[in-house]
């Protein structure tokens, strides 16, 4: 890992300094889990649903934060050091934090939730040899499997409350599977010709596979990848050829690139609008519907369906937010 705001040597020294206190604290709690730190908001939301009020759950990466580019700060390391357990996505989503998480894994439970999904259900990417698309949360049914996995891990970490963790995970899974069914029905209201999502980076492949909509991003699965003039030109030609009516920007990715695509379409006599902002690698602000996983997904689907000419009449029929 070449880029991090504090030297790796300093980080290793800080780990050595806290490792003894971490172990002693664990002994005092007799195996209890009081504080959990998660990398992304989506993971923190899932963990919170499972643990209820038995642990404090915190996300390192807030609204508008791109996990592909995220670099750990001194404050992050302090929070990670104080945590009794850490949950992260894995599959190279938190690319710049890999070494930090690996070192912490020698001191405490550090759990990659991506391990919940069998390789047969993962999407291979052509961007990096041997790599898988990490954006699991865009297939809501697949994400429900992650919730079950978190439940199993919490039962192992804190057996005293195992029955509650199992029940909480089961209940949240049911909510997600009901949402998954509603999403499929709403996407199906878009005409086949218009059932195409154009976004800044290729984060929505799981969404496309799950709900029958073609997705295309200007950048690859990671915002670390670069795009060039040919990428813009090819995307413009595709949009014009399909007469696509809208493209979508993302809350965690600069919109400049897609604005160039919109201008390119206009130069060829095709008017395409920015249909709205989607939440891709980060959720919305705390205290808003989009600050929850379910609310974020519903916002995205509503934005996509309305911009592409479909109907969202029953999308939020069971919304609890």
295: CATH: 3.40.50.1980
Domain-terminating residue out of 131, 157, 180 = 180
118-127: b (≥16 Cβ within 10 Å) or e:
eeeebeebee
31 pLDDT band (50/70/90 cuts)? Answer: low
Q: 167-184 as b/e, with b when 16 or more CB fall inside 10 Å?
A: ebbeebbebbeebbebbe
Q: Is residue 1 part of a domain?
A: no
Whether residue 318 is contained in a domain is answered as no
Residues 210 and 162 in one domain: no
Establish if 313 belongs to a structural domain.
Answer: no
- Average pLDDT value over all residues in the chain: 86
* Separation of alpha carbons 116 and 73, rounded Å: 28
State which of 180, 206, 221 marks the end of a domain. Answer: 180
SS3 73: coil
Q: Residue 321: inside a domain, yes or no?
A: no
**CA distance linking residue 217 with residue 69, whole number of Å:** 18
**Average pLDDT, integer, range 107-122:** 97
Answer yes or no: is 115 within a domain. Answer: yes
Check: CB of residue 292 under 8 Å from CB of residue 172. no
Backbone angles phi, psi at 247, to 5 degrees: -120, 165
pLDDT in tens, 213-269: 999 888 755 554 566 788 888 889 999 998 999 999 888 677 887 888 999 999 999
Same domain, 59 and 45: yes
Cβ distance 51 to 167 under 8 Å? no
Q: How confident is the model at residue 287 (pLDDT cuts 50, 70, 90)?
A: very high
Residue with the larger pLDDT of the pair 246 and 29: 246
Between residues 44 and 92, the one the model is more confident about:
44
pLDDT at 20 over 80: no
Domain shared by 87 and 155, yes or no? yes
Residues 58 and 175 both lie in one domain: yes
Of 156, 180, 204, the domain-final residue: 180
- Tell me the percentage of the chain whose pLDDT exceeds 70: 83
> Where residue 320 falls among pLDDT bands split at 50, 70, 90?
very low
Domain that includes residue 138, residue range: 8-180
Q: How many domains does the chain have?
A: 2
Query: What is the rounded CA–CA span in Å between residue 76 and residue 71?
Result: 9
Q: Which residues contact 198 (CB under 8 A, 6 or more apart)?
A: 216, 217, 218, 235, 239, 244, 246, 247, 248, 258, 261
User: Mean pLDDT throughout 171-180?
Assistant: 98
This prediction's pTM: 0.84
Torsion on CA atoms 16, 18, 24, 27, rounded to nearest 10: -100
Cα–Cα distance for residue pair 106/126, rounded to 1 Å? 32
Average pLDDT value for residue range 141-162: 98
Share of the chain above pLDDT 90, in %: 64
8 Å CB contact between 147 and 172:
yes
Note whether 172 and 37 are same-domain residues.
yes
176 in the same domain as 212: no
Task: Please report which confidence band the pLDDT of residue 203 belongs to, taking 50, 70 and 90 as the band edges.
Answer: confident
Higher local confidence (pLDDT), 304 or 4: 304
Q: Are 279 and 251 a contacting pair, CB within 8 Å?
A: yes
Note the pLDDT of residue 220: 58
For 7-11, 87-91, 182-186, which range has the lowest pLDDT when averaged over its residues?
7-11
The DSSP secondary-structure symbol of 123 reads P
């Amino acid at each position: 890992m070449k880029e991090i705001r504090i030297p790796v040597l300093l980080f290793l020294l800080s780990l050595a300094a806290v490792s003894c206190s971490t172990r002693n604290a664990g002994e005092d709690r007799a195996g209890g889990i009081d504080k959990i730190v998660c990398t992304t908001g989506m993971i923190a939301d899932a963990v919170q649903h499972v643990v209820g009020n038995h642990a404090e759950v915190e996300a390192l990466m807030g609204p508008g934060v791109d996990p592909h580019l995220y670099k750990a700060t001194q404050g992050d390391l302090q929070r990670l050091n104080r945590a009794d357990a850490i949950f992260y996505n894995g599959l190279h989503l938190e690319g710049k934090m890999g070494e930090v998480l690996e070192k912490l894994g020698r001191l405490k439970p550090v759990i990659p939730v991506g391990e919940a999904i069998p390789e047969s259900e993962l999407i291979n990417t052509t961007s990096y040899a041997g790599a898988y698309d990490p954006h699991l949360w865009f297939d809501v049914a697949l994400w429900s499997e992650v919730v079950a996995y978190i439940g199993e891990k919490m039962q192992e970490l804190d057996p005293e409350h195992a029955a509650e963790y199992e029940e909480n995970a089961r209940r949240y899974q049911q909510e997600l599977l009901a949402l998954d069914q509603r999403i499929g029905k709403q996407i199906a209201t878009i005409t086949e010709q218009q059932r195409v999502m154009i976004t800044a980076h290729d984060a929505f492949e799981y969404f496309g596979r799950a709900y029958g909509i073609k997705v295309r991003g200007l950048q690859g699965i990671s915002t670390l990848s670069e795009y060039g003039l040919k990428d813009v030109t090819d995307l413009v030609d595709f949009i014009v050829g399909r007469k696509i009516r809208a493209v979508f920007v993302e809350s965690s990715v600069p919109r400049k690139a897609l604005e160039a695509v919109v201008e390119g379409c206009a130069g060829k006599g095709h008017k395409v609008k920015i249909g709205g902002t989607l939440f891709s690698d980060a959720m919305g602000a705390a205290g808003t519907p989009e600050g929850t996983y379910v609310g974020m997904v519903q916002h995205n689907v509503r934005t996509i369906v309305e911009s592409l000419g479909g109907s969202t009449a029953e999308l939020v029929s069971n919304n609890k937010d």
